[in-house]
Amino acid sequence: MKLNSDSSILITGGTGSFGKAFVSKVLNLYPNIKRLVIFSRDELKQWEMQQVFSPDKYPQLRFFLGDIRDYNRLQRALKGIDFVIHAAALKQVPAAEYNPTEFIMTNIIGSQNIIHACLNSNVKRVIALSTDKAAAPINLYGATKLCSDKLFVAANNVVGDSDIRLSIVRYGNVMGSRGSVIPFFLEKAKAGLLPITDEDMTRFNISLNEGVDMVLWSLDNCLGGELFVPKIPSYKILDLAEAIGPNCRTQIVGIRPGEKIHEEMITKSDSFSTLDLGKYYAILPSDCKLLNIYKDLNREFEPVPKGFSYNSGTNSSFLTVDEIRDLIVENVDNNFVPI
């Protein structure tokens, strides 16, 4: 089943950075789409989003107040929905360490609610957004997202004769997203001092538009049970500092609890069930059932080498200082000038 103008879509956490970009892209591609539901719990953010996407101009848009912890509310919201994008989550690493139960309730129990509600409706495709922190997690946030990933993969075992397929998209830092390092550095550069956690630190880099395009691709191409990972470049934290504040002082402040020096999206243990699809990787369930379906359908793929890992520190592609600056202008701040 392919996304088209007759489709109905629901996005959880739809008032976030990803949600707004996703809604904008879908309305651009399918201006007469049947229905597009923004499901979130913050009425102010929904009101603010309605000022950008006017209900008068986009009557197919629906703003549905609700929490993914509330199964009954989810089930009501999913009536008549074909496609679900699950972007709602609690995400701040330090907050997770201090409030573990809240993260478990939203990121794990909330995900299970979405799965059950989708299985009990006529939803056809579900794409859940994950994070690099779910690969070999060392903090509670990453652990809750790993649990969520496992739930969505395992849900494909109980779909019966239903046409529903559930898959996951995992990527690292979204350039310019709220709370990420680039807007943080842009603000700190105004004071002339950039705090560096560790001189060796690296990060993957993906733009919001690239993340949206990947989710749309996954909706059209998933078979159910894949965990898709994009092929994207890395940057060094010192190169980022040079790109934003070449005249700023730097200060080593040490990594935060639960933070990694390098991001990892595919571990060596994952390599035995990971396929190279060209633009993306796909981590498959280890039972080989999905792999056999890929073979039967003559899907183009290459198994990655055994022991392969996808790590921002050993990535084959790194952004230069000039490339980082160009991307900041393109994706974060049109008026950006190095300080």
Task: Quote the pLDDT of residue 54.
Answer: 87
The confidence score (pLDDT) of residue 180 equals 83
| pLDDT attached to residue 6 | 96
pLDDT recorded at residue 151: 98
Distance CA 290, CA 157 (A): 11
Which residues fall within 8 angstroms of residue 45, CB to CB, at 6 or more apart? 15
d(CA 66, CA 128): 18
> Residues with Cβ < 8 Å from 37, sequence gap 6 or more?
8, 9, 10, 11, 14, 61, 62, 63, 64, 77, 81
Measured between alpha carbons, how far is 36 from 11 in angstroms, rounded to an integer? 8
CA distances from 182 to 136, 256, 329, 333 (A): 25, 17, 12, 10
Is residue 248 within 8 A of residue 282, CB to CB? The reply is no
Q: What's the pLDDT score for residue 33?
A: 96
Catalytic, 133? Answer yes
* Look-up of token digits 């009557």: 59
Residue-level pLDDT at 179: 74
- Cβ contacts of 201 within 8 Å, gap of 6 or more: 236, 237, 255, 261, 262
Question: For the domain bounded by 1-170, which CATH number is listed?
Answer: 3.40.50.720
What's the farthest any 2 CA atoms get from each other in the chain? 62
Give the Å distances, CA to CA, from 265 to 75, 132, 150. 32, 5, 15
**What residue has token string 């709220």?**
178
- pLDDT recorded at residue 257: 80
Q: What pLDDT score does 20 carry? A: 95
Q: How far is residue 271 from each of residues 181, 257, 277, 282, 304, measured CA to CA in Å?
A: 29, 28, 14, 10, 6
What DSSP designation does 298 have? T
Name residues of the chain where pLDDT drops below 50.
Answer: none
pTM score: 0.95
Q: Which fold has domain 172-268+310-339?
A: UDP-galactose 4-epimerase; domain 1 (3.90.25)
Catalytic residue among 133, 145, 188, 236: 133
* Residue boundaries of the structural domains of the chain: 1-170, 172-268+310-339
pLDDT at 139: 94
> What is the distance between the terminal CA atoms of the chain, rounded to a whole angstrom?
49
Spatial CB neighbours of 309, under 8 Å, sequence gap ≥ 6? 264, 266, 267, 268, 270, 271
Structure confidence at residue 120 (pLDDT): 95
CA Rg value for the chain: 20
- pLDDT score at 82: 97
pLDDT for residue 161: 87
Query: Alpha helix locations (H) across the chain?
Result: 17-29, 43-52, 71-77, 93-98, 100-103, 110-119, 140-155, 181-189, 208-221, 237-244, 289-296, 321-331
CA 116 → CA 133, 226, 246, 336, distances in Å? 25, 19, 51, 45
